Amino acid sequence: GENVEQHPSTLSVQEGDSAVIKCTYSDSASNYFPWYKQELGKRPQLIIDIRSNVGEKKDQRIAVTLNKTAKHFSLHITETQPEDSAVYFCAASITGSGNTGKLIFGQGTTLQVKP
């Protein structure tokens, strides 16, 4: 089955710096890669996602890149702010007719943005 590895497990940056979180997946059939942000005591919230027919996607200060050949994808946060501090999860799934769409998650990255 699918396996998703996420690095680093913790990341500390200064406010205004960039943060990068990387994930690798094992199943080459995976075609949907979302990222979730989870604040302390809250539920995970979808922040951005990418499908396998796209190499990069941006939404204001966040971007995700996908390298299908190497089977890895990354989350980039620019101009970090203290409110970006949270746990971030990557995930992978196989979507489409006949598939379950079940997400397999990485282990999570705790991002701390220091003021």
Contact footprint for other proteins (CB under 8 A): 1, 6, 9, 32, 34, 36, 42-46, 49, 89, 93, 95, 100-108
Strand 10-14 and strand 109-114: the pairing is parallel
Closer CB to other proteins, residue 44 or residue 113?
Answer: 44
Q: Minimal CA–CA distance to 113: which of 48, 35, 42, 18?
A: 18
Closer CB to other proteins, residue 9 or residue 81?
Answer: 9
How near is the Cβ of 41 to other proteins at its closest, in Å? 9
How near is the Cβ of 109 to other proteins at its closest, in Å? 10
How near is the Cβ of 55 to other proteins at its closest, in Å? 19
Separation of alpha carbons 31 and 100, rounded Å? 12
Strand 56-59 and strand 62-67: the pairing is antiparallel
